[in-house]
Amino acid sequence: MASSESLRLAQLSIAVRESTLKRLLQVPEGFESWRPTEASLSFADMAQHLIDADNWLFQKLQTPELPPLQGQAGLVDVHSHEVFYGLIDKLREIGERRKILIGSLTEDDFSRRIFDSRFGGEVEVWWIIIRGNLDHETHHRGQLAAYLRIVGDLS
Instruction: Kindly report the pTM of this predicted structure.
Output: 0.95
What pLDDT score does 155 carry? 62
User: What distance in Å separates the CA atoms of residue 30 and residue 154, rounded to the nearest whole number?
Assistant: 12
Question: Domain tally for the chain?
Answer: 1
* 31 touches 79 (CB < 8 A): no
- CB neighbour list of residue 130: distance below 8 Å, 6 or more residues apart: 9
Domain that holds residue 65: 4-154
3-state secondary structure 53-96: HHHHHHHHHHCCCCCCCCCCCCCCCCCCHHHHHHHHHHHHHHHH
The string of pLDDT tens digits covering residues 61-103 is 999 999 999 888 988 989 899 999 999 999 999 999 999 999 9
> How many percent of the chain have pLDDT more than 70?
98
User: What distance in Å separates the CA atoms of residue 111 and residue 125, rounded to the nearest whole number?
Assistant: 6
- Measured in whole angstroms, the distance separating CA 143 from the mean position of its chain's CA atoms is 12
Residue 2 above 80 pLDDT? no
Beta-strand pair 113-116/121-124: antiparallel
Whichever domain contains 53, its CATH number is 1.20.120.450
What pLDDT score does 79 carry? 86
Neighbours of 40 (CB within 10 A): 15
- Measured in whole angstroms, the distance separating CA 83 from the mean position of its chain's CA atoms is 19
